[in-house]
């Protein structure tokens, strides 16, 4: 598992390979989301700070596992990469790329409390 850290704060954990973590945490859709999502009234990412991806600590892994166990009955959908990131250059999803199968299987758990009304523009 890998953790996204911004300005020394652990933001989210993903249960995928380092490559999957880098792909999802740095895709345009996720970056757009974390620029609009807020915790304690502050955006998660200012668009400039480094997005640091590192191995998750034991405590972060435990938080991740507890959160997934808690959400099992709710069937929450994992983060989906944006259309540009998930599709081939010709606009059709590529079925022969095993990495995309890995991305579909990855779950992300935020380690910070997300403000209820943050980033929920319709």
Higher local confidence (pLDDT), 72 or 65:
65
Q: What DSSP line would sit under 45-57, residue for residue? A: --SSS-EEEEEPP
Q: How open is the CA angle 108-55-25, to the nearest 5 degrees?
A: 40
Token pair, residue 43, equals 């955006």
pLDDT tens, residue by residue, 15-52:
999 999 999 999 999 999 999 999 999 999 999 999 99
Q: What are the boundaries of each domain within the chain?
A: 2-110
pTM: 0.70
> How far is residue 15's CA from residue 18's CA, in Å, rounded to a whole number?
9
Enumerate the β-bridge partners of residue 18: none
Higher local confidence (pLDDT), 86 or 81:
81
> How far is residue 118's CA from residue 71's CA, in Å, rounded to a whole number?
21
pLDDT of residue 78: 56
């Amino acid at each position: 598992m890998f953790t996204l850290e911004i300005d020394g704060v652990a933001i989210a954990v993903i249960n995928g390979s380092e490559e999957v973590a880098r792909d999802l945490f740095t895709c345009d859709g996720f970056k757009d989301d974390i620029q609009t999502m807020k915790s304690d009234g502050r955006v998660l990412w200012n668009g400039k700070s480094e997005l640091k991806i590192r191995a998750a600590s034991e405590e972060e892994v435990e938080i991740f596992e507890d959160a997934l166990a808690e959400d099992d009955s709710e069937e929450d959908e994992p983060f989906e990469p944006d259309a540009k990131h998930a599709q081939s250059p010709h606009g059709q999803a590529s079925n022969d790329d095993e990495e995309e199968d890995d991305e579909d299987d990855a779950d992300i758990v935020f380690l910070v409390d997300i403000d209820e009304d943050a980033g929920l523009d319709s």
